[in-house]
Amino acid sequence: MDIEAIYSYYLKCSSVCTDTRKIQQGCLFFALKGDNFNGNTFAHQALEKGAKYCIIDEADYLTDNCILVDNVLKTLQLLATHHRNQLIVPIIALTGSNGKTTTKELINAVLSKKFNTTATLGNLNNHIGVPLTLLSMTDKTDIAIVEMGANHPKEIAFLCDIAQPDYGLITNFGKAHLEGFGSVEGVIKSKSELYDYLKKHQKTIFVNENDEIQVKQTLHYENIYHFGLITSLDAMVELISSQPYVSLKYNNKTINSQLTGMYNFNNIAVAIAVGSYFKVDSEDIVSAIENYNPTNNRSQLIEKGSNSIIMDAYNANPTSMMAALENFKQLHKDHKVLFLGDMFELGATSEIEHQQIVDYIKQNPFDETYIIGKNFFKTDVNGSNIKKFEGFDDLKDELQKRPIENKFMLIKGSRGMALERILQIL
């Protein structure tokens, strides 16, 4: 069945779904396959729960209201691009090693002051999430913000071919997913696939002029909107403070955000630049950023008993970990305590990257430091007050024996470490 015919079925449905646990009445269900499941086996269940039609790719499961295709995932991607081309909605794509989701949410908050927006939900930013975002656009969508993630070369290029963005930005280039990219140079080249697409199609790029790599990667590009700390730029943004929340100045207006960490200055600056480009009123930009409240363990400041905690445990890599440590070091607070969890997907560089974090803490000691995970457990902590634990249960036993009180804490680690569990113990 061709994509036009499938699109006619899509238009009759209320939404798109890939999970029978989240079926909405009248939705179009895509029976995707994974390493440990076969969506075709759930097609009948999806219909029983209220799906209007199911897209399947195994004839054994064909029944009424099931549409048989060669490949469900490919069909989802082709349908998303087809839908994107029917609406002709301007799309802003963003990628980067750190801060993608926070930046996407800030941009959405700013643009929502003027436009009806559609944005990536959570961090659904891969080869499935991007099509789902596109298919959630309606004829009421004025502009869309699409987050793109990748852990291998050519993934960003592939996602660009699906979404066909009109605007784009890269938050930063860091030591993330080195197992897949091979090196920092591999990260830069792969993330810059977004720049390559936008240049080829003569689209607009937002460039942070304070980021040397961004500037270098976009030399000789046209259609650039410049932002940063330099007064001659299209959007000039000035850092005021990050003690502990980021405050900044834009267009002679002070913005007091609810985001901790100096590293969030650039994320906010991007949102300001995008808002400026799309002529969102300055007062609305200020309001949107000041009212944005981080969630889901991203740069949150939490009070728990007698302790104050910077909860930044949504994810971690060497670049974001070092940025968090540098920020924590410069905060004017007493009685600082660190909880750091393993960083994943670093491949052959894992041992040296974890040791470099430990070496930094040795040179810049905090009141107490706890490192958790098999990678951190292998590091050499001799000559320091660092306590290391191979697993979370070992840390839990320690904290139950020695409760922590009246401290200022940073909790940082990769998503798989789930260090937010520490809050349940404190």
Instruction: Spell out the residues 6+ positions from residue 382 whose beta carbon is closer than 8 angstroms to its own.
Output: none
Which domain, by its residues, includes 55?
Answer: 3-72
Distances (CA, A) of 356 to 127, 174, 319: 33, 15, 11
Nearest in space to 93 (alpha carbons), one of 14, 201, 210: 201
pTM of the entire predicted model: 0.92
**And the tokens for 369?**
């430091």
Distance from C-alpha of 144 to C-alpha of 411, rounded to nearest angstrom:
33
Q: Is residue 99 part of a domain?
A: yes
Give how many domains the chain has, as a whole number.
Answer: 3
Orientation of helix 318-330 relative to helix 350-363, angle to 10°:
10
State the DSSP string of 221-272.
-SSEEEEES-TTSSEEEEEEEESSEEEEEETTEEEEEEEESTTHHHHHHHHH
Q: Which residues contact 425 (CB under 8 A, 6 or more apart)?
A: 396, 399, 400
Whether residue 45 contacts residue 25, with contact meaning beta carbons closer than 8 Å, is answered with no
Check whether 232 has a pLDDT greater than 80: no
For residue 182, the model assigns a pLDDT of: 83
In a shared domain, residues 179 and 314: no
Q: What is the pLDDT of residues 353-409, one digit of tens each?
A: 999 999 999 999 999 999 999 999 999 999 999 999 999 999 999 999 999 999 999
For residue 371, tell me if it sits in a domain. Answer: yes
Task: Give a yes or no: residue 142 inside a domain.
Answer: yes
Question: Does residue 230 carry a pLDDT above 80?
Answer: no
CA-CA-CA-CA dihedral for 286, 288, 293, 299, to nearest 10 = -60
Encode pLDDT of 274-316 as tens digits: 999 999 999 999 999 999 998 878 888 999 999 999 999 988 9
Confidence band (pLDDT; 50, 70, 90) for 35? confident
- Tell whether 295 is covered by a domain: no
- Is the same domain home to 222 and 191? yes
Q: Is the dihedral of CA 150, 156, 159, 163 positive or negative?
A: positive
Q: What is the pLDDT of residues 234-245, one digit of tens each?
A: 888 999 998 999
Average of per-residue pLDDT across 321-333: 94
* Chain mean position to CA 160: 17
> Where residue 381 sits, what CATH number does that domain have?
3.90.190.20
Is pLDDT above 80 for 231? no
CB neighbours of 123 closer than 8 A, spacing ≥ 6? 100, 101, 129, 147, 149
Q: How confident is the model at residue 348 (pLDDT cuts 50, 70, 90)?
A: very high
pLDDT at 341: 97
Within a domain: 415: yes
Residues 285 and 184 in one domain: yes
Distance separating alpha carbons of residues 34 and 400, to the nearest angstrom? 39
Co-location of 273 and 305 in the same domain: no
How far is it, in rounded angstroms, from Cα 112 to Cα 102?
15
Q: Domain check: are 132 and 258 in the same one?
A: yes
- 84, part of any domain: no
pLDDT by residue (tens digit) across 129-153?
A: 999 999 999 999 999 999 999 889 9
Q: Could you tell me which residues come within 8 angstroms of residue 22 by beta carbon, excluding any fewer than 6 positions away?
A: none
- Which CATH number characterizes residue 49's domain? 3.40.1390.10
Q: Answer whether 26's CB lies under 8 Å from 13's CB.
A: yes
- Which among 228, 258, 290 is the end of a domain? 290
Q: State whether 65 and 98 are in the same domain.
A: no
Nearest one of 79, 381, 145 to 278, comparing CA atoms? 145
Per residue, the 3-state secondary structure of 33-99, as one string, reads ECCCCEHHHHHHHHHHHCCCEEEECCHHHCCCCEEECCCHHHHHHHHHHHHHHHHCCCEEEEECCCC
Same domain, 286 and 307: no
Q: Are 275 and 135 within one domain?
A: yes
> Residue 197's Cα: distance from chain center in Å?
20
CA-CA-CA-CA dihedral for 402, 407, 412, 415, to nearest 10: 60
Residues 285 and 307 in one domain: no
pLDDT given at position 5: 96
Check: CB of residue 371 under 8 Å from CB of residue 289.
no
What's the mean pLDDT in 180-188? 88
Give a yes or no: residue 80 inside a domain. no
Element (H, E) at 408: strand 408-412
Instruction: Please state the length of the chain.
Output: 426
CATH of the domain at 272: 3.40.1190.10
Instruction: Tell which of 258, 290, 322 closes a domain.
Output: 290
Of 264, 290, 316, the one marking the end of a domain is: 290
Structure tokens at 272: 């300001």
pLDDT for 295 equals 80
| CB contact at 8 A, 155 and 190 | yes
- How far apart are alpha carbons 158 and 54 in whole angstroms? 25
Does residue 26 lie in a domain region? yes
Q: Is the domain of 151 the same as that of 54? A: no
Structure-block tokens of residue 358: 């430990």
Are residues 181 and 225 both part of a single domain?
A: yes
By C-alpha distance, which of 132, 141, 194, 139 is closest to 166?
A: 194
pLDDT at residue number 118: 98
Are 191 and 277 found together in one domain? yes
